[in-house]
Amino acid sequence: MDYSSCISTSLDLNIRPLRVRDEAPKREPQESNFMDLGLNTSAKEETGALVEELNRVSAENKKLTQMLTVMCENYNTLRSQVMDYMSKNAEKEFSPSKKRKSDSSNNIGDNNVNMLTNGASESSSTDEDSSKKPREEKITAKISRLYVRTEASDTGLIVKDGYQWRKYGQKVTRDNPCPRAYFKCSFAPSCPVKKKVQRSAEDQAVLVATYEGEHNHPTQTDETSGSSRCMAIGSVPCSTSLNSSGPTITLDLTKSKSPIVSPSNNNNNNNTSNNSNNSDINKIIPKAKTESPEIQRFLVEQMASSLTKDPSFTAALAAAISGKIFHQSPPGKW
């Protein structure tokens, strides 16, 4: 299943089609624009046209909201299907075959791959410190597991999750012929998070990534996206940008903090500095943290409501409209 083919998380709210076209074809010829309105009609008609335009924008907003709702519903449906599939695999995979105490103490085998906490008393020591300290200082950090389906031909151990990782080791373990790769978070030097990535023994197209610890820094995309304005709509980050074709609002639905599962191909062809590009959506499906449809719907409504109420959005909208007007009219007429 390739989610990218049916779900696009890029919501292009291009304002271009908002020009007066079908609404009042009789009143004004196709060539007329706002400048003509301003010159040839009374102020009242101009106001009426603007109101009409506003209504049109509102209607379009509603339509987009509905589209977004449908998109999220499709997303949920597909996700539940994948989760069913993955849970079947997980039941086998997490059967208690592990001997090591540390594994069992981390509760990974209970099929619940939510962020599991063991007290999370994150020590202030860095990795350099911990590497020199005796190992009895066990990592008491959050542990989560993540499943990522890749192409069968993809032999890499790359899991895109928005962070930058540095591989520091690889080992072939006993119960799995596929090597396990060890990564440290390299985006922040003091970040204690480690990641283990190994292909599933049952289904080698599935990558199993185990995360230990919590990041003490934002994702790289959070920090480097300064070129475009970023704002959070509810809990969903998005960004707006003004380009030649008008303002574009992009909803970034990839920044889920929960363990995720990708049911389809991705993650190949990226060198291991990887992971930083969330615009290439991961087509990710939460494995354990399953938000209910009600929550999803609430988020959608919140996003739509925020879009219509957010001054940034309205400002961008106003800028787009005025830009359009300026673009269509000779300079100096305003």
Partner DNA sequence: CGGTTTTGACCCGCGC
Partner DNA sequence: GCGCGGGTCAAAACCG
27 interacts with DNA by CB under 7 A: no
168 interacts with DNA by CB under 7 A: yes
Part of the chain binding DNA (CB under 7 A), chosen from 69-77, 95-103, 246-254, 255-263: 95-103
State which residue, 28 or 122, has the beta carbon closest to DNA: 122
Residue with tokens 């509905």: 66
Part of the chain binding DNA (CB under 7 A), chosen from 6-14, 123-131, 261-269, 298-306: 123-131
Interacting residue with DNA among 114, 150, 248, 274 (CB under 7 A): 274
Q: Tell me the H-state helices in the chain.
A: 3-6, 34-40, 43-93, 101-105, 127-132, 220-224, 293-309, 311-328
Part of the chain binding DNA (CB under 7 A), chosen from 111-119, 179-187, 251-259, 288-296: 179-187
- Min separation Cβ 163 and DNA, Å: 11
State which residue, 130 or 277, has the beta carbon closest to DNA: 130
State which residue, 159 or 303, has the beta carbon closest to DNA: 159
Size of the site for DNA (CB under 7 A): 33
| Nearest partner of 15 among 57, 62, 64, judged by Cα | 57
The 8-class DSSP code of residue 95 comes to: S
21 interacts with DNA by CB under 7 A: no
Question: Quick one: CA torsion of 130, 131, 132, 136, rounded to 10 degrees?
Answer: 60
State which residue, 75 or 165, has the beta carbon closest to DNA: 165
State which residue, 84 or 175, has the beta carbon closest to DNA: 175
100 interacts with DNA by CB under 7 A: yes
Interacting residue with DNA among 235, 273, 279, 322 (CB under 7 A): 273
The 8-class DSSP code of residue 6 comes to: H
Interacting residue with DNA among 142, 160, 196, 287 (CB under 7 A): 196
Distance CA(246)–CA(53), nearest Å, equals 16
Interacting residue with DNA among 75, 147, 163, 165 (CB under 7 A): 165
Longest dimension (CA), the chain: 84
- Angle of helix 311-328 relative to helix 293-309, nearest 10 degrees? 50
97 interacts with DNA by CB under 7 A: no
From first CA to last CA, the distance across the chain in angstroms is: 53
Provide the strand spans (E) within 94-205: 143-149, 165-172, 179-185, 194-199
Q: Do β-strands 206-212 and 194-199 pair in parallel, antiparallel, or remain unpaired?
A: antiparallel
180 interacts with DNA by CB under 7 A: yes
Q: From residue 141, how far is each of 133, 209, 215 by CA, in Å?
A: 17, 16, 10
272 interacts with DNA by CB under 7 A: yes
The residue ranges that bind DNA (CB under 7 A) are 99-102, 127-128, 130-132, 134-136, 164-171, 173-175, 180-182, 186, 194, 196, 271-274
